[in-house]
């Protein structure tokens, strides 16, 4: 090991006072292991149990904040209060191994397979399909959809807190909805949510603001 990583196993205290036992994190990895209805499964709990003991924190696989944000089969759901009991077991399983538990919250936007979302109709910033073979043309989100999804990120955060998670991570990368608003390819809107770089950042920043408010409540 080079000296660059000499302190990787030392504890680390975050600005908010939370201490991680070391500086190694489990990256979020979608594993298709939960129930079809979004509930955390026994298989999911077993997966995290064996991966949580050595690390300072675990970031879970992405969890969809709305039903129309489901990007993968057997994804963890965080879109309804009925999912809180399973999420509680997930947080407790990770924490029992000495790691902090961070739930990754997510909306797949136009990358959601049509068969996984209500009405088989993925949504996105604009009605532009991804440049991938057989990509579905999404429905452009209305102003009400935009507000609904922002609020869903806040509600997902409230549920994560109720379930005992130490934190949430907003999934803003890898071609999903937040990035779809940022990208001029997928965001062709002419209202306040699209256009200039600043306007294309309005949705990502609104999500961050609302999640922060939910954490501080
Ligand atoms: C099977 C698989 C599933 C992944 N799922 C997620 C995910 O749910 N959320 C996320 O932010 N990144 C996800 N990623 C990205 C990883 O967290 C990581 O950022 C990426 O693999 C780059 O790290 P690496 O170079 O060490 O592989 C996934 C990667 C893989 C290989």
CATH code of the domain covering residue 26: 3.20.20.70
Q: What are phi and psi of 213, to 5 degrees?
A: -60, -40
Domain annotation covers residue 12: no
Domain annotation covers residue 2: no
The set of protein residues with a Cβ atom below 6 angstroms from ligand 1 is: 27-30, 61-62, 104, 171, 174
pLDDT given for residue 37 in this prediction: 98
Question: What's the pLDDT band for 3 if we cut at 50, 70, 90?
Answer: confident
What's the count of helices (H) and strands (E) in the chain, helices before strands? 6, 9
Q: What is the extent of the structural domain holding 104?
A: 22-216
Structure tokens at 155: 């509600």
Whether 191 shows a pLDDT value over 80: the answer reads yes
How far, in Å, is the centroid of ligand 1 from the Cα of 174? 9
Number of domains comprising the chain = 1
Question: What's the pLDDT band for 5 if we cut at 50, 70, 90?
Answer: confident
> How is 43-103 classified by DSSP, letter by letter?
HHHHHHHHHSSSSSEEEEEEEESSGGG--STT-EE-SSGGGHHHHHHHHHHHHHTT-EEEE
Ligand 1 atom 3: residue of nearest CA: 29
Whether 1 shows a pLDDT value over 80: the answer reads no
What is the pLDDT of the chain when averaged over all its residues? Answer: 97
Average of pLDDT values for 186-211? 98
């Amino acid at each position: 090991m080079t000296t660059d990583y000499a302190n990787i196993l030392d504890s680390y205290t975050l600005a908010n006072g939370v201490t991680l036992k070391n500086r190694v994190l489990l990256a979020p990895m979608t594993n298709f292991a939960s129930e079809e209805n979004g509930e955390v499964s026994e298989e999911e709990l077993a997966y995290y149990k064996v991966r949580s003991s050595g690390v300072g924190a675990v970031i879970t696989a992405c969890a969809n904040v709305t039903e129309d944000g489901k990007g993968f089969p057997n994804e963890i759901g965080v879109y309804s209060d009925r999912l809180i009991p399973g999420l509680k077991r997930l947080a407790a399983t990770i924490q029992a191994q000495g790691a902090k538990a961070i739930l990754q919250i997510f909306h797949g936007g136009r990358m959601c397979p049509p068969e996984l979302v209500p009405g088989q109709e993925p949504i996105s910033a604009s009605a532009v399909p991804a440049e991938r073979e057989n990509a579905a043309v999404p429905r452009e989100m209305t102003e009400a959809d935009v507000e609904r999804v922002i609020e869903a990120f806040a509600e997902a955060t409230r549920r994560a807190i109720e379930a005992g998670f130490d934190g949430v991570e907003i999934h803003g990368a890898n071609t999903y909805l937040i990035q779809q608003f940022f990208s001029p390819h997928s965001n062709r809107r002419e209202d306040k949510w699209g256009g200039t770089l600043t306007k294309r950042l309005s949705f990502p920043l609104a999500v961050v603001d609302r999640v922060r408010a939910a954490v501080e409540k």
